[in-house]
């Protein structure tokens, strides 16, 4: 199949199930601006807007085909298409969308922790949008600090729906929901009708009633089934969902290193961001086993690496005090104590507890040592707890 993008012709193989223009462009390395599509997690969070809705984020992904603007992820690519991804018409439509967003989005980029990696900021810079156009009526909202690992600052929410989509369809928890209030949408914690009735007196409150209940602190994220995996934080394109980490840094000051998470044997790919040799942030990387998702440990559990109490050398208690020793001395000491216990009280007086933070081969040798050398089946593993 032949496609022409921005005046250049490409030949691609058309899948039997077809391919959307957005995906075809992505496969060719051609970027089409968007807020709702997460290519790593393979989802489109775009919601159908109610009649009279203030603006549509879907229009960020428009392309021009035969003089008409169409949303690139809604139309199938067809042989011979002449597609322009950044024509003057496309640029004007995107400016209109960005102008609407800036009509209600706080303009405090310098103080925002998302500075330097915010999609809204990048697109506004790209298309020269510096202020809002018109006025969009929204309900002002306070921060929700109830979660232990992240906070929500929904005054900065642009209603892309990514957090709702990843939580429901990828994580399978559904801790968030999108509600409507006339011409605007809001993200709120998803809780049971019983809890809504308990907190508000109404088992089925309207969208506006839910927003006001959340604003008044009657319902928070702590009331939702959130498992604190942080994937909503990872997919948020702006600063509406951010980690509570105390690290003070800017994105351009960090170095990105992709590695494999060591918390368990799944093999999730993870991107660590370091500043001056210290890990300051962790984000999911796209890998075959995790598809750009992480659990709470992978996303937020990295502070131990730089913790002042972390053990960096083997230690043995001598004369009532723990002192650093060599690995050889520590291993000899452990072996002598295991042998002493086995010989004095029998093999089952010894038990071993293994770790998910090491490789399968080491865990196999550990249980083999206990069963064959010590003679006990008293062996367990932290991942089973």
Beta strand spans in 190-339 (E): 241-243, 255-260, 269-275, 278-284, 315-318, 321-324
385 pLDDT more than 60: no
Interval 299-355: pLDDT, tens? 999 988 888 899 999 999 999 999 999 999 999 999 999 999 999 999 999 999 998
User: pLDDT confidence of 254, banded at 50, 70, 90?
Assistant: very high
User: pLDDT confidence of 16, banded at 50, 70, 90?
Assistant: confident
Interval 262-313: pLDDT, tens? 888 788 999 999 999 899 999 999 999 999 999 999 999 998 888 889 999 9
267 — alpha (psi -120 to 50), left (phi > 0) or beta? left
How far is the C-alpha of 30 from the C-alpha of 234, rounded, in Å? 23
H or E stretch at 187: strand 184-189
Token output for 270 = 């993870």
Which neighbouring-strand residues pair with 37?
44
Neighbours of 307 (CB within 10 A): 9
How far is the C-alpha of 57 from the C-alpha of 40, rounded, in Å? 19
Q: Is 281 helix (H, G, I), strand (E, B) or coil?
A: strand
Sign of CA dihedral 232, 233, 234, 237: positive
Give me the pLDDT at residue 264, please: 82
How far is the C-alpha of 305 from the C-alpha of 297, rounded, in Å? 13
Sign of CA dihedral 209, 211, 216, 220: positive
Burial (CB < 10 A; 0-12, 13-18, 19+), residue 237, is: buried
Mean pLDDT of 134-152: 88
Q: Is 336 helix (H, G, I), strand (E, B) or coil?
A: helix
User: pLDDT confidence of 51, banded at 50, 70, 90?
Assistant: low
Mean pLDDT of 244-252: 85
Radius of gyration for the chain, computed over Cα atoms and rounded to the nearest angstrom: 27
Q: Which of 119, 128, 127, 124 is CA-nearest to residue 157?
A: 119
Contact present, 41 and 235 (Cβ < 8 Å): yes
How far is the C-alpha of 154 from the C-alpha of 143, rounded, in Å? 7
Average pLDDT, the chain: 92
DSSP 8-state symbol, 335: H
Domains of the chain, each with CATH number or no CATH: 150-243 (3.30.70.20), 251-306 (2.20.25.90), 315-384 (no CATH)
Give me the pLDDT at residue 41, please: 64
**Any idea which residue has 């775009």 for tokens?**
46
For residue 316, give every residue at least 6 positions away whose Cβ sits within 8 Å of its Cβ, in sequence order, or none.
Answer: 322, 323, 325, 329, 330, 333
Give me the pLDDT at residue 54, please: 65
């Amino acid at each position: 199949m032949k496609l022409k993008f921005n005046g250049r012709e490409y030949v691609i193989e058309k899948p039997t199930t077809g391919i959307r223009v957005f995906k075809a462009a992505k496969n060719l390395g051609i970027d089409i601006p968007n807020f709702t599509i997460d290519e790593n997690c393979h989802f489109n969070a775009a919601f159908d807007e109610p009649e009279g809705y203030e603006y549509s984020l879907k229009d960020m992904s428009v392309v021009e085909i035969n003089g008409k603007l169409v949303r690139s992820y809604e139309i199938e690519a067809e042989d011979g298409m002449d597609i322009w991804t950044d024509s003057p018409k496309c640029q004007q439509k995107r400016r209109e969308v960005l102008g609407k967003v800036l009509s209600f989005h706080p303009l405090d980029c310098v103080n925002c922790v998302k500075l330097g990696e915010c999609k809204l900021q990048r697109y506004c810079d790209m298309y020269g949008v510096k202020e809002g156009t018109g006025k969009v009526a929204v309900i002002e909202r306070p921060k929700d600090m109830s979660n232990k690992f992240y906070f929500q600052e929904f005054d900065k929410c642009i209603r892309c729906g990514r957090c709702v989509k990843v939580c429901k369809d990828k994580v399978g928890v559904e801790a968030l929901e999108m509600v409507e209030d006339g011409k605007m949408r809001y993200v709120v914690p998803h809780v049971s009708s019983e809890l809504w009735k308990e907190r508000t007196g109404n088992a089925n409150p309207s969208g506006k009633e839910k927003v006001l209940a959340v604003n008044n602190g009657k319902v928070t994220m702590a009331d939702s089934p959130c498992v604190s995996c942080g994937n909503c934080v990872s997919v948020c394109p702006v600063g509406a969902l951010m980690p509570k980490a105390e690290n003070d840094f800017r994105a351009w000051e960090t170095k990105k290193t992709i590695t494999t998470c060591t918390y368990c044997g799944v093999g999730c790919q993870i991107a660590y961001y370091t500043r001056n040799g210290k890990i300051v942030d962790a984000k999911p990387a796209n890998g075959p086993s995790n598809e750009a998702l992480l659990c709470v440990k992978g996303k937020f559990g990295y502070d131990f690496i730089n913790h002042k109490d972390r053990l960096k050398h083997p230690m043995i208690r001598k004369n009532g005090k723990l002192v650093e020793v060599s690995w050889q001395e520590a291993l000899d000491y452990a072996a002598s104590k295991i042998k002493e216990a086995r010989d004095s009280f029998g093999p089952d007086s010894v038990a071993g507890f293994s770790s998910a933070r090491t490789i399968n081969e080491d865990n196999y040798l550990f249980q083999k040592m206990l069963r064959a050398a010590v003679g006990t089946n008293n062996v367990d593993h932290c991942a089973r707890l």
